[in-house]
Structure 1
Amino acid sequence: MQVSSLNEVKIYSLSCGKSLPEWLSDRKKRALQKKDVDVRRRIELIQDFEMPTVCTTIKVSKDGQYILATGTYKPRVRCYDTYQLSLKFERCLDSEVVTFEILSDDYSKGLALSPRPEGQWRNFSSLQHQPPEFK
């Protein structure tokens, strides 16, 4: 990344740095990062890292590979893969999510708490169980 300044406004050039070939193994990428300062200072952006309206909660999986974010209108959950730097999936939900917890090491199982009395057990790829309503 190159930074320049014009009239006291900083300009960040994100495309001028070196990029690493995708076919390199993780070991070789780490070795290059130790040797080359330009490779060490590069920034990698996650594709589609946004929420259409408002993002309410962001959590990182225990293994550090996935970022899960929930948003409002349409209520949704998005999963981003940090190794692939891309959006893994997006699911629309029945109701807004107040908060959620990731129950597994990866993104596969979680519990979403909604403003409704019932919560939703999710594997974040399909609805698993919706507890019955008690009246």
Structure 2
Amino acid sequence: MLLKKLFFSSDKNDKYCKMEQKLRLLELEIQKLQLLEKQWEKLQEENTQPPVVIEKVHIDKIVFDKFELNNNFGQLGIKELKGRLNIGATYGNDFLRPEAEEEAEQKQEGVRKERKKPEKPQEGGPKINIQPRRENVT
């Protein structure tokens, strides 16, 4: 009996009982947390929606609050400027002519100017320009 009292004293029993109770409470808490985690995962799976695919987008109105355009032309050098500036309606002139055609046309205009004789206007009377008739060749 003495040995029983040594190993199974009331103080020790109380400590062991309290520890066992705490251990059981902790195990119950762990089980509750596991159940909550499973429920959370189920809710997440139910709430996940398939991805949204947008096929067409129609934009009615675009509003710019601020637009900045910075050009630094201080270091820009222009050696030759070619081309044409069209302002307004230019029907039928959508293309740029090659340089060779432009040069040929300028030469023809120069020859035409040389052929024309300057007419002397009559003093005090009306100015008269007489040009020959052009025949239409079809």
Name the TM-score class by shorter chain.
under 0.3
Structure 1 or 2, whichever has the larger Rg, is 2
More strand, by proportion: 1
More helix, by proportion: 2
The TM-score, its normalising length taken from structure 1, stands at 0.18
The TM-score, its normalising length taken from structure 2, stands at 0.18
